[in-house]
Structure 1
Amino acid sequence: MYFGKKTSAFTEPSWARTEQLNKALETADAIVVGAGAGLSTSSGLHYSGPRFETHFGDFIEKYRFPDMYTAGFYPYPTPEEYWAYWSRHIYWNRYDRPVGEAYRLLLELVGGREYFVLTTNVDHCFQDAGFDEERIFATQGDYGLWQCSLPCCERTFGNEEAVRRMVELQRDMRIPTELVPKCPACGRPMAMHLRCDDRFVQDAAWYAAQARCTGFLSRHRTGRVVYLELGVGGNTPAIIKYPFWRFTRENPDAVYACINPEPWPLPVEIAPRAVWIGADIRKTLEEIIKSRAK
């Protein structure tokens, strides 16, 4: 979208790239963190495997789901069963889960600096790890919020109390009918506040966060800026990856850094000022912090 030619990822030893990233972070005027699902995965929030099997064994037995992502898109036959699944999904990924070591380590690296977080994650881990809420823009929604399914209004609604009751009272993969959530404004069914289609609600809080993010990026179009991309996949590259490439190209003092086990070809225009580390995010951040303590 932004570049006509790409080059393959770097092949230097990982320790050399880690040192290069550490130096860029230590000398940066500003750090823009762009985070995708890989950051939460590195923190142990896996959507498949033992964690999925422990909390969703009955759904797996009935539907043979391979992971939570697939289960979330299934057309359940009744709203009672739909919310039995989704209340558990919200509960285990938003309200009863560890913050994750990768988030704690990241906060240790950037917490005292001029930083901003742009993330497609919806699990609220940044906030729970202690990142400043005024420095976070979660573009794709939040598991802790519901919206009207129509929607009839540009509002979102906190769901913690309702979700906990659904989890507590559900039986045989169904919640009590009286717990099926309805929009308090119009009475229609509630929906998850996740960007799945054009019905996603961008409420006042969403626009305020967007404005703070836009302002931060505008103030730091020049100078020593590190665009630190963590665990971003190929589903929505236009939100983080492509803008980070463009910002780096436009600012000759900027550095683009990416920590992701999955390689992604880099544009030739920014390759001399780019650092790609094909390793686990948590382990890489831990390595940087340990190197600073020596």
Structure 2
Amino acid sequence: MALDTAQIRRAADLLDEADGLIIAAGAGMGVDSGLPDFRGNEGFWKAYPALGRSRMDFARIASPVAFERDPGLAWGFYGHRLALYRSTRPHAGFGLLRAWGEAMPQGCRVFTSNVDGQFQRAGFDPAAIYECHGSIHHLQCMDGCESAIWEAESFAPEVDQERCRLLNEAPRCPHCGGLARPNILMFGDGGWIERRSAQQARRLEAWLEMVERPLVIELGAGTAVPSVRYFSQGIVARGGRLVRINPREPEVANRRDAGIAAGALEGLQAIAALRAQT
């Protein structure tokens, strides 16, 4: 299906008018890099057949309870994801966004519900990124020991992908020696240490105070888990504009904004191609 040229033109115009760019990214942002889409049990179980055989859905494995009941299985899942994200090369759309943001007077910032660290891998300033659900590249104690958060770089998971089980030793808390878990907001998670994300939120808010004409480019963020959409709507409510790129739910409420029915990379490349013509 051909993309809506009028919406792409509107998006290009909004880029020209803005003095600061906010990239708001949901799970769909990583699909064009080859990362699995966990939308629905079918896609999730295709990526993790061992969990499919036991009929364990994403919400059950992505939970502190999973670490309490079966750490080897929980770390098999998260260890596989950690290794995958470390080896994945961000798609070309990341570079387009970075170039557009760097050309603006106030630069750019990132708000993402993704825990994969792809924006850091794509060369974005880590201090300019707000990961609202945490990061798989950081760990914390299962017991909240010392309220500490540390980087996971020394942990090299070895995973039996057929059984979705960790083969080597799980990471341990450097303070008490107890089991460590990802510093990620999971389902039913009352133990997530949010200090790192809260610091990121304060930095983003301070930056927003300096921006007069903010533009949000929202990518791959649906309504099922609406964290990114709520953020985008908040920017619009304070006078910002919105470009929404989403293959299934591209609609925008304000006709001054733009909604492009496309995947992240396709939509960004369409905007870039049109801008190159002018």
The TM-score bracket by the shorter chain reads: 0.7 to 0.9
Q: Answer yes or no: is the 8 Å Cα contact 1:43–1:103 preserved in 2.
A: no
1:111 is aligned to 2:102 = yes
Q: What letter is aligned with 1:102?
A: G
- 1:2-17 alignment, distance < 5 Å: 14-17=4-7
Q: Answer yes or no: is the 8 Å Cα contact 1:154–1:202 preserved in 2.
A: no
Q: Answer yes or no: is the 8 Å Cα contact 2:251–2:259 preserved in 1.
A: no
Q: What is the CA–CA distance in structure 1 between the aligned matches of 2:34 and 2:59, rounded to whole Å?
A: 16
Change beyond 3 A, Cα 1:50–1:230: closer
Partner of 2:265: 282
Partner of 1:91: 83
Partner of 1:217: 208
Partner of 1:245: 233
SS of 1:137's partner is: strand
Q: What is the CA–CA distance in structure 1 between the aligned matches of 2:205 and 2:134, rounded to whole Å?
A: 18
Question: Matched residue pairs, number?
Answer: 267
Q: What is the CA–CA distance in structure 2 between the aligned matches of 1:280 and 1:95, rounded to whole Å?
A: 23
Q: Answer yes or no: is the 8 Å Cα contact 1:32–1:228 preserved in 2.
A: yes
Deviation at 1:172, TM superposition (A): 6.2
Change beyond 3 A, Cα 1:119–1:148: same
Deviation at 1:246, TM superposition (A): 3.8
1:229 to 218, 226, 239: 218
Q: What is the CA–CA distance in structure 2 between the aligned matches of 1:20 and 1:170, rounded to whole Å?
A: 45
Q: What is the CA–CA distance in structure 2 between the aligned matches of 1:256 and 1:105, rounded to whole Å?
A: 17
Change beyond 3 A, Cα 1:91–1:132: same
Stretch of structure 1 that moved more, 226-235 or 41-50: 41-50
Partner of 1:187: 177
Q: What is the CA–CA distance in structure 2 between the aligned matches of 1:180 and 1:43, rounded to whole Å?
A: 28
Deviation at 1:276, TM superposition (A): 1.1
TM-score scaled to structure 2, two decimals?
0.82
- 1:33-182 alignment, distance < 5 Å: 33-47=23-37, 56=48, 59=50, 62-63=53-54, 72=62, 75=66, 78-92=70-84, 94-113=85-104, 114-162=107-155, 164=156, 166-167=157-158, 174-175=165-166, 179-182=169-172
Q: What is the CA–CA distance in structure 2 between the aligned matches of 1:118 and 1:50, rounded to whole Å?
A: 25
Q: What is the CA–CA distance in structure 1 between the aligned matches of 2:225 and 2:160, rounded to whole Å?
A: 36
Q: Answer yes or no: is the 8 Å Cα contact 1:87–1:167 preserved in 2.
A: yes
Stretch of structure 1 that moved more, 240-249 or 142-151: 240-249
2:241 to 243, 255, 275: 255
2:199 to 197, 208, 211: 208
Percent identical: 23
Q: What is the CA–CA distance in structure 1 between the aligned matches of 2:30 and 2:59, rounded to whole Å?
A: 14
Deviation at 1:190, TM superposition (A): 1.3
Q: What is the CA–CA distance in structure 1 between the aligned matches of 2:197 and 2:80, rounded to whole Å?
A: 25
Per-residue deviation, residues 40-65 of structure 1 (Å, max 9, x unmatched) = 12332123689985x755x2575366
Q: What letter is aligned with 1:140?
A: H
Per-residue deviation, residues 199-237 of structure 1 (Å, max 9, x unmatched) = 11123x4343222101012222xx332122111122443
Change beyond 3 A, Cα 1:249–1:16: same
Q: What letter is aligned with 1:21?
A: A
Structure 1 gaps, min length 5: 1-12
Change beyond 3 A, Cα 1:85–1:284: closer
Q: What is the CA–CA distance in structure 1 between the aligned matches of 2:161 and 2:255, rounded to whole Å?
A: 56
Q: What is the CA–CA distance in structure 2 between the aligned matches of 1:231 and 1:176, rounded to whole Å?
A: 33
Change beyond 3 A, Cα 1:170–1:224: closer
Instruction: Provide the alpha-carbon RMSD of the alignment.
Output: 3.1
Structure 2 gaps, min length 5: none
Q: What is the CA–CA distance in structure 1 between the aligned matches of 2:115 and 2:165, rounded to whole Å?
A: 24
